Amino acid sequence: MTTAAPKRELPTRHAYGETLVELGREDDRIVVLEADISKSTQTYRFAEAFPDRFFNVGVAEQNMMCMAAGAAICGRIPFVSTYAVFGSMRACEQMRTSVAYPKLNVNIAVSHAGLTAYDDGVTHQAVEDLGIVRSIPNMTVLQPCDAPSTRKAVRAAVEIDGPVYLRLTRIAMPILYDDNVDFQIGKAIRLRTGGDVTIVAVGDMVFQAREAAERLAAQGIEVDLLDMHTIKPLDVDALLDSATKTGAVVTAEDHNVLGGLGSAVAEALGEHCPTPLLRVGLQDTFAQSGSYGDLLRHYGMDASHLVEAAQRVMRRKQ
Amino acid sequence: MARGQAHDVDSLREIARQLRIDSLRMIHLAGGGHPGGSLSAADLVTALYFHEMNLRSEEPDWPDRDRFVLSKGHGCPVLYAALARLGYFDPQHLDTLRKFGTILQGHPDMNKTPGLDATTGSLGQGLSVGLGMALIGRLDRRAYRVFVMLGCGELDEGQVWEAAMCAAKYRVANLTAVIDYNQLQLDGTNDEIMPLEPLEDKWRSFNWNALRIDGHDMPAILDALRAAREHEQGPTVIIAKTIKGKGVSFMEDQLDWHGVAPNAEQLEAALVELGP
Amino acid sequence: MTTVSQPGIKDTTQELARWARLLRYDTLRMISNAASGHPGGCMSMAEILTCLYFHEMKVDPQQPDWLDRDRFILSKGHCAPILYAALARKGYFPVDELRNLRKIGSFLHGHPDISTPGVDMTSGCLGQGLSAAVGMAMAGRIDRRDYRAFVVIGDGEMNEGQLWESAASASHFRLDRIIVVLDFNALQFDGTVHEVSNPGDVRGRWKSLGWNVLEIDGHDIPQILDALRQADECRGRPTIVVAHTIKGKGVPFMEGDYLWHSLMDNDLLTSFVKEMHDELQRDPDGFDADRLW
Amino acid sequence: MSCSATRTASMRTAYGEALVEVGRTNPNVVVLDADLSKATKTSLFAEAFPDRFFNIGIAEQNMTTVAAGLATCGKIPFATSLAVFSTMRACEQVRTSVALTNLNVKIVGFYGGLCTAENGPTHQCIADLGVMRPLPNMTVLAPADAPSCKACVRWAVEHPGPVYLRGLRDGEPVLYDETGPADVSRIQIHREGNDGAILVNGFMLHLALEAADRLAARKIHITVADVITIKPIDQKTLLEIAGNVPCVLSVEEHNVLGGMGSAVAEVLAQKHPLPMRIMGVPDVFSNSGKHSLLLEAAGLTTEKIVENAVELLAAT
């Protein structure tokens, strides 16, 4: 386990923007496409450093997605940036047909995932994207929880010869890992070892899960905690290993409980190791405007709800 | 084959005739496909592949080659026929169109067919793909040009106009759009379904250089392609008026021949009209 | 077409200017309260929205679902605050509710939601508003109701392909009850429209799509009223009013600065709101004083 | 449950006929199409009710939001295209203009799964259920045959709120009687047995029934149930079925990720963990070719269903 005491906070989109600049310096195949929100997605940093390799296409996400396909066909490694709502849904079919089907090395980095878009309201809160993108063949789907793992994820995305969907937060996240975190696509990171209940968390929910695990530990319940930063391909081995040991699983995601992490875990458990499961996330509802903390509480996604979910699912053990 | 070396107008006309024959044979054998839009595009595809474009069929991935994106992907039989005749693959593959395991998918798949530059079939996306290629060509300081063939019905798709606006912003003179303007879409004429005129005005309002020609008049096609090549201020669109099903009297301007394969008898009649 | 009796145009202009000023105040105060939002584009459309809600549109706040009402769609949904201000001032809900912009439990979401009293369509994802208006106008035609559908679009939205899909439809189906106002402030999120997207010949494009095109100064109330009247009279095709505006209009440090698309400096904004409050309170004839919050 | 797989019928034609039928009884029904009315058979409605039919051209995003606008004025629009365009090209419009607003719009997409066959992967759609399922407020329907498709249309008209209806093509075996299932929101049990259960939808239903016959010949008696409504899934019937069997096999002409198998797995894991296996297209793009060959390549055949059922039973 490679964790560091929280030093400061940073939105993962900032780590993305910074890493793009580093990558741009190291590899001139990197190009960045943007749809008029470069200050939000942080690609303005790349634009300043490498204006020739930055293309702001205006508010036209579908066009942007296919332009990236054209650039990838010509040997470039494009990053496409926008909000998650638009990356996964406005340009959904373009991603599927022009990027995923020809299996091009296009990296789709999207900000404002889930409730981290908080007071912008529902139109800008993507709570469906993981389920949508997961259904598309050839896609790799990532949501690292903090800045250091995001930096690693951006680099890993470049190395994968195929499309990657990288989900980022609008708001600041604590720094959990140190800079040498062993981030590998498709390999969960075990944050805590325990034998009583498994919590599988992704993205910003990793922090709620950590806090829940600490509170449960105070009650004598030991949590096996996995940072499942790769939703697809899912680290089935790590999941089964943990589920076999604990016999009870909770998933935690800033997303609808239909289609995303909870679904992926349910599929894997059903096929390999039927285990009681509770899925924490938005219970198939749209949210509303509000502060991030208020929203997590209101929709039953904060640490105390996770504690409760863990207790409930443990009662269902055989 | 380098640009302009290839053929005189008569031999181009002959090639176009052959591509029409190939297309109909392929579609007949496949038992499905889109003859109308293959025949309407035959002269344009011929002029591009056998005259205008800078290609090396023996080296399909030659980085300096001109690119072609068939945005109206359903018209692919005529493109496959052109690629086969240029030697990108054995013409025997033409008999396998749409069959399981074939390199010639129902809609173009760049990872299966040698010589194909892009995967297409969902209408409205090709101009964006071509724009990406054109921008990278400029970035890489390569002299290649990118041609995108659009159907007319496809102009209903908003994404075409997203790409049009963006291409004008970047003044990509190495990008040429060719519209196979046969004025028929699946459900009816453009005018019935969604009128397009005044089409030049529309493209000009996006700051494109717009030309209109008869898309079956070979010298006119060659002239327009030259004019597009010489226009250095930005992208050019060639609005090529064509006839759906061109060359086969019973298919010409017939909506019903958008997506139906000819049976043996119909193929025979068509081949008689197209000549030996 | 207005619910209030038709006063002389000069009086109307003065009165509408005051409403616009009040909406500006409400909007800025809401954003400074929420410490989040998009002030620049709200300011640029203050006169347009005022003329629509306080003069042109046939609406009844007592019956928000009245079937014959004119519809309004704020396609540039990020400018929700000024729409909320107009709705509150019109009487759809108490002005006091404006304090709750972007707060949990409030119906004043970050972007407009159809569940808010007076909001006819959810928006916020750019490029969709005109399509919704096309549907509304088609329904009006089927039902033989003579209501109109007004849409305010932003200039950045012209990048979105769906806008051109819907523009072609409105024209093809001859939906003359659709009136679009383009808030052409020439700035989008990342810079000027020329830097980001190159809009080309905007007027020519809408004409080529078969639209009736009018062009005005979007802060000049008589021009706005006149354009809306002409649009109403136009038959057989939809109308777009290209309204040239200034992003951040009315707030000196905001005018023409694309960075104020979003909230840049809340301390600066808050002190400006306070100044504006005091100024409105000192207003000699008391038009505004008792309306302040 | 009456079943007779002796004949086939076109689901597209059934859809067009059903639209005419509901159009006659309900003047609020309007239909939109995106230049595919001959393929989707909305042309039948267009002929019967030209004033209530709108051909929007090849502009699916616009069509979807236009439908939302119509619904705000009390209409019941059926916005029709191919599955890949209805759910993916217009994905964000379905989500924002239809699902988020909870408007009474019916999104209909034909050629779900691989049945557009020779047209190749661009026009096939194995992700539509996975794309629609995460959208809150959406109801997702995937009927198996012409009568159940008609029943879905009738049901959708009576059910206020957003609905996605996945249509197929032609030549689907007719497995329901003429009126179709009485309530498409309920799981329809076609065979009952306690050795295992196959949950299935769409074109896979007749294959599952054949598989059940073959298994019965080997004295293995399984339940075969048609999950027409993928969302909200009929938990009650699903759990009743699960309570009587040791294992569950799900079979669908869709990606194994995100579709009906996922929905079943979610319910079972949460309420009644049970060994299961998810059969479907194994997370790959398919090919051009005959539908039957594509299904074979994806492992979606009667033989494979039998094989998987036997393996799953042996393991439990």
- Establish if C208 touches chain B: CB-CB under 8 angstroms: yes
Q: How confident is the model at residue B54 (pLDDT cuts 50, 70, 90)?
A: very high
Q: Which residue type does D212 have?
A: A
Domains and CATH numbers, chain D: 8-173 (3.40.50.970), 188-315 (3.40.50.920)
- Establish if C164 touches chain B: CB-CB under 8 angstroms: yes
Which among A62, A85, A289 has CB closest to C110?
A289
pLDDT the model gives residue B211: 98
Q: Which residue type does A137 have?
A: P
Residues of chain A with C-beta less than 8 angstroms from the C-beta of D231: 258
Q: Three-class SS of residue C183?
A: strand
Question: What is the average pLDDT score of chain D?
Answer: 96
Q: What is the mean pLDDT of residues B116-123?
A: 93
Chains within contact range of chain B (3+ C-beta pairs < 8 Å): A, C, D
Residues of chain B with C-beta less than 8 angstroms from the C-beta of A58: 162, 165-166, 169
Catalytic, out of D17, D21, D60, D210: D60
- Establish if A282 touches chain D: CB-CB under 8 angstroms: yes
Do D51 and C165 count as a contact with CB atoms less than 8 A apart?
Answer: no
Which of the residue ranges B225-229, C285-289, D139-143, D206-210 would you say has the lowest mean pLDDT?
C285-289
pLDDT the model gives residue C6: 46
Structure-token pair, residue B147: 């041609």
Do A274 and D275 count as a contact with CB atoms less than 8 A apart?
Answer: yes
Phi, psi of D174 (to 5 degrees): -85, 120
Query: Which residues in D176-201 are b (16+ Cβ under 10 Å) and which e?
Result: beeebbeebebbbebbebebbbbbbb
For residue A2, being part of any structural domain is answered with: no
Q: Which domain holds residue A18?
A: 9-174
pLDDT the model gives residue C173: 95
CATH number, residue C86: 3.40.50.970
> In this predicted model, what pLDDT tens digit does every residue of C59-93 receive, in sequence order?
999 999 999 999 999 999 999 999 999 999 999 99
pLDDT the model gives residue C198: 82
Residues of B with CB under 8 A from a CB of D: 30-33, 73-74, 98-102, 104-107, 109, 119-124, 153-154, 156-158, 185-188, 192-194
Q: What is the mean pLDDT of residues D111-138?
A: 96
CA D65 distance to own-chain centroid? 23
Q: How confident is the model at residue D316 (pLDDT cuts 50, 70, 90)?
A: confident
Q: Which domain holds residue C174?
A: 9-291
Do B105 and D62 count as a contact with CB atoms less than 8 A apart?
Answer: no
All structural domains of chain B with their residue ranges: 9-274
Interface mutation target, options B169, B191, B199, B204, chain C, most CBs of C under 10 Å: B169
What strand order describes the sheet that includes A249-256? A189-192, A223-227, A197-201, A249-256, A277-282
CATH number, residue A284: 3.40.50.920
pLDDT over 70 for what percent of chain A? Answer: 97
pLDDT the model gives residue C10: 65
Q: How confident is the model at residue C253 (pLDDT cuts 50, 70, 90)?
A: very high
CATH number, residue A23: 3.40.50.970
pLDDT the model gives residue C168: 96
> In this predicted model, what pLDDT tens digit does every residue of C196-212 receive, in sequence order?
888 889 999 999 999 99
Q: Are residues A169 and A83 in the same domain?
A: yes
The residue in chain C having the minimum alpha-carbon distance to the alpha carbon of residue D49 is C142
pLDDT the model gives residue B5: 52
> In this predicted model, what pLDDT tens digit does every residue of A168-187 receive, in sequence order?
999 999 999 999 999 999 99
The sign of the CA dihedral A171, A172, A173, A178 is positive
- Establish if C157 touches chain B: CB-CB under 8 angstroms: no
D197/D190 Cα distance (integer angstroms): 11
Place of tokens 């206020």: D160
Do D58 and B153 count as a contact with CB atoms less than 8 A apart?
Answer: yes
> In this predicted model, what pLDDT tens digit does every residue of C145-173 receive, in sequence order?
999 999 999 999 999 999 999 999 999 99
Q: What is the mean pLDDT of residues D86-93?
A: 97
pLDDT the model gives residue C154: 96
DSSP B81-149: HHHHHTTSS-GGGGGGTTSTT-SS-SS--TTTSTT------STT-HHHHHHHHHHHHHHTT----EEEE
Do A76 and B136 count as a contact with CB atoms less than 8 A apart?
Answer: yes
Which among C36, C106, C111 has CB closest to A123?
C111
Within 13 Å, how many C-alpha atoms sit on residue C87's CB side? 23
Tell me, letter by letter, the H, E, C secondary structure of chain A.
Answer: CCECCCCCEEEHHHHHHHHHHHHHHHCCCEEEEECCCHHHHCCHHHHHHCHHHEEECCCCHHHHHHHHHHHHHCCCEEEEEEEHHHHHHHCHHHHHHHHHCCCCCCEEEEECEHHHHHHHCHHHCECCHHHHHHCCCCCEEECCCCHHHHHHHHHHHHHCCCCEEEECCCCEEECCECCCCCCECCECEEEECCCCEEEEECCCHHHHHHHHHHHHHHCCCCEEEEECCEEECCCHHHHHHHHHHHCCEEEEEEEECCCCHHHHHHHHHHHHCCCCEEEEEECCCCCCCCCHHHHHHHCCCCHHHHHHHHHHHHHCCC
Q: How confident is the model at residue A120 (pLDDT cuts 50, 70, 90)?
A: confident
Q: What is the ipTM of this complex?
A: 0.90
Minimal C-alpha gap between B63 and chain A (Å): 8
Q: Which residue type does B127 have?
A: L
> In this predicted model, what pLDDT tens digit does every residue of A3-17 receive, in sequence order?
555 458 999 999 999
Q: How confident is the model at residue C99 (pLDDT cuts 50, 70, 90)?
A: very high
The residue in chain B having the minimum alpha-carbon distance to the alpha carbon of residue A94 is B125
Which residues are CB-neighbours of C286 under 8 A, at least 6 positions away? none
- Establish if D256 touches chain A: CB-CB under 8 angstroms: yes
Do A59 and C109 count as a contact with CB atoms less than 8 A apart?
Answer: no
Which among C132, C140, C168 has CB closest to D97?
C132
A45/A27 Cα distance (integer angstroms): 16
pLDDT the model gives residue A26: 98
CATH superfamily of B9-274: Thiamin diphosphate (ThDP)-binding fold, Pyr/PP domains (3.40.50.970)
CA A254 distance to own-chain centroid? 9
pLDDT the model gives residue C292: 85
Which of the residue ranges A140-149, A199-208, B256-265, C8-17 would you say has the lowest mean pLDDT?
C8-17
> In this predicted model, what pLDDT tens digit does every residue of B164-209 receive, in sequence order?
999 999 999 999 999 999 999 989 999 999 999 999 999 999 999 9
Residues of chain D with C-beta less than 8 angstroms from the C-beta of C139: 30, 69-70, 72-75
DSSP class of C244: E
B133/B128 Cα distance (integer angstroms): 9
Do D39 and B185 count as a contact with CB atoms less than 8 A apart?
Answer: no
pLDDT the model gives residue A7: 56
Give Dmax over CA atoms of chain C in angstroms: 52
Q: Are residues A83 and A42 in the same domain?
A: yes
Distance of CA C251 to CAs A38, C34, C36, D4, Å? 25, 18, 17, 74
Question: What is the average pLDDT score of chain A?
Answer: 95
pLDDT at residue C176 tops 60: yes
CB B46 within 8 A of CB B14: no
Q: Establish, for the pair of chains A and D, how many residue pairs have beta carbons separated by less than 8 Å.
A: 151
Pairing label, strands D188-191, D222-226: antiparallel
pLDDT at residue C116 tops 60: yes
Residue numbers of A between 277 and 296 with CB closer than 8 Å to C? 288-291, 294-295
> In this predicted model, what pLDDT tens digit does every residue of A210-219 receive, in sequence order?
999 999 999 9
> In this predicted model, what pLDDT tens digit does every residue of A278-299 receive, in sequence order?
999 999 999 999 999 999 999 9
- Catalytic status, residue A61: yes
- Establish if D50 touches chain A: CB-CB under 8 angstroms: no
Q: End of a domain among A174, A201, A233?
A: A174
Residue numbers of A between 112 and 151 with CB closer than 8 Å to C? 119-124
